[in-house]
Structure 1
Amino acid sequence: MSSSILRCPLCEQRLKQSPGGMKCDAGHQYDRAKEGYLNLLPVQFKNTLNPGDNQDMMLSRQTFLQSGQFNFLIDALGSSISDLLEGQTQPIELLDIGCGEGFYTQQLSQQLADNIKFSGIDISKSAIRLASKHAKRHSLAIDYWVASNNRLPVLDNSVDLALKVFAPCDASEMQRCLKPKASFLTVTPGSKHLWQLKSKIYSAPIEHDEKPEQFDGFTHISCDKISKESEIDFPTMKALAMMTPFAWKISQDELDALCQSIDSMQYQFIINRYQNC
């Protein structure tokens, strides 16, 4: 695997391969975990001891995503990326910001051209560990790094395409890392995303705003909406519910009753493309 786009999170010098990990010229060493990832989140940059989603939420998300309910989103993203990179044969650096357990990088890496080098960043060490274990088990050449989305350990002008699925990120950091005229894709919920669940939870559910977010230094290029309604069984519905903060505010019996009352789910996604100025 390649980590040629990395910079030291402490001194911002380029990181180079060293025995067992990566090292900058200033001597800051980052050891590679046995699962294959690098931890590039120094303790002084943490707001909590274990930032990111908790283990139960991550495992629920992993269970839900592996059910195939979001496969149509993967297909749409793959098509968008293929169209965007059509005809390009040089190595492409694709960075998934807020990658979680690595579902999107792993699925897309098996669909897209071999010249795309996939990397993923997440602030949750537990999520990155899961992502790295899965990639290693399935021989997927994907780099995963523990790091903050708002302090990316990536060199200036080094990324060809960035992906941001339901993840926050500092726009100025995104602009710094992307090459001139490079693009990034965002995925946000459509107006009636998870509508059956929201209708059960709230007496007057509010639709998501589909207006594209504006980022300083970027031009909004395109907006595509995709949607699908699918049947959903109880275990998958429960995994979906447990991905949300609401599930942790009610009893187990109430959660089970809620999930048993829903047998289909509306999924809507907005895919926006932005270009670095």
Structure 2
Amino acid sequence: MIQLACPLCREPLDEQPGQLRCGNGHSYDQARQGYWNLLLVQRKRSLDPGDNAAMVQARRAFLDQGHYALLSDRINALLSQALAGRNTPLELLDLGCGEGYYSARLEQALQCAGIDAALTGLDISKHAVRAACQRSRSARWLVASGADIPLPAASLDAITLLFSRLMPEPMAQVLKPGGLLLLAWPGDEHLIELRRHIYTDVRPSAYDPLTQLSDLFSLEGQQAVQYRFTLSDNDSIQTLLGMTPHSQRLAPAARDALAALTQLELTLDVNLAVLKRR
């Protein structure tokens, strides 16, 4: 597994038992859960950035119900196919890894495909990374900013960015030339039934990440994943709501209507793309 880079001076970090230290004397202690916190205090925009503990707990509970397993399988198959035939071992980063559901499943899928890859998961939320540590003991987990990835330049073979903030330059910096980026973002119909319960005017999304990436990445392939699934009790509906930003925007009438639902049929609509670092 590649050495981490010091977030203060970018020098390589040597790993010692329970500690990272660079040649300039900057040191970082390992958390008892096993992750490394490389998010500098002066670079935080809030006291507790990223998803809070309640959102992380809700996301973990919802994902463990398996509703997004088919999506995860498609992501894993797409990346496994794209990486097949490359010289191993490979270095992978799950950027914005959240509580580690997709990361851990990807790690297992690559092993089953016979692809030797070391996986690093990174998220700005310490609550998410603490939960991710329970998903896999073999992956390396980091609390850090995706705008300042603590990895050496041109050190990664692939990055996955699933429903997370797009940062073209930092991603391109740490990818090798020809390295891969697997991107996932919501389609226009994604969870539209839930959104119709929350908003009076549901409009198609104008989000186009591929255009934003075109200067640094070439598109290798794109596909959509679409299927329907059903939540059969209100606890599951509330769990889904709690893991999304929609929960912060609920009007009282919408909250009451959702609280009364005992079943909700939903559409999963997600775009996947594989891009190559120019």
TM over 0.5, shorter chain: yes
Cα deviation digits, residues 79-106 of structure 1 (max 9, x gap): 1011111123511111000111111111
Structure 1 Cα separation of the partners of residues 171 and 255 of structure 2: 38
Cα deviation digits, residues 58-92 of structure 1 (max 9, x gap): 11111111110100111101110111111235111
Q: Alignment partner for residue 195 of structure 1, among 176, 192, 195?
A: 192
Q: Which runs of 5+ in 2 are unaligned?
A: none
Cα deviation digits, residues 143-171 of structure 1 (max 9, x gap): 00000010100101100000001111421
Q: Which runs of 5+ in 1 are unaligned?
A: none
Cα deviation digits, residues 222-247 of structure 1 (max 9, x gap): 21101010111222211111122332
Structure 1 Cα separation of the partners of residues 190 and 174 of structure 2: 31
Contact between 1:152 and 1:173, CA under 8 Å: does it hold in 2? yes
The sequence identity of aligned pairs, in percent, is 32
Contact between 1:225 and 1:271, CA under 8 Å: does it hold in 2? yes
Structure 1 Cα separation of the partners of residues 164 and 209 of structure 2: 15
Q: Secondary structure at the match of 1:213?
A: helix
**Is 1:230–2:229 an aligned residue pair?**
yes
When structure 1 is superposed on structure 2, of 261-270 and 76-85 the one drifting more is 261-270
Structure 1 Cα separation of the partners of residues 63 and 45 of structure 2: 28
Which residue of 2 is the match for residue 266 of structure 1? 267
Q: CA deviation at 1:132?
A: 1.1
Q: Secondary structure at the match of 1:198?
A: helix
Cα deviation digits, residues 158-196 of structure 1 (max 9, x gap): 000000011114211111100011110110001100011
Contact between 2:198 and 2:250, CA under 8 Å: does it hold in 1? no
Q: Which amino acid aligns with 1:191?
A: D
**Is 1:130–2:131 an aligned residue pair?**
yes
Which residue of 1 is the match for residue 159 of structure 2? 162
Which residue of 1 is the match for residue 217 of structure 2? 218
Question: For this pair of structures, how many residues does the alignment match?
Answer: 271
Taking the TM superposition and a 5 Å limit, the aligned residue runs for 1:31-42 are 31-42=29-40
Q: Which amino acid aligns with 1:60?
A: A
Contact between 2:90 and 2:118, CA under 8 Å: does it hold in 1? yes
Q: Alignment partner for residue 87 of structure 1, among 81, 85, 88?
A: 85
Which residue of 2 is the match for residue 153 of structure 1? 150
Which residue of 1 is the match for residue 18 of structure 2? 20
Which residue of 2 is the match for residue 255 of structure 1? 255
TM-score normalised to the size of structure 2?
0.91
Structure 2 Cα separation of the partners of residues 47 and 94 of structure 1: 27
TM-score normalised to the size of structure 1?
0.92
Structure 2 Cα separation of the partners of residues 237 and 213 of structure 1: 32
**Is 1:175–2:155 an aligned residue pair?**
no
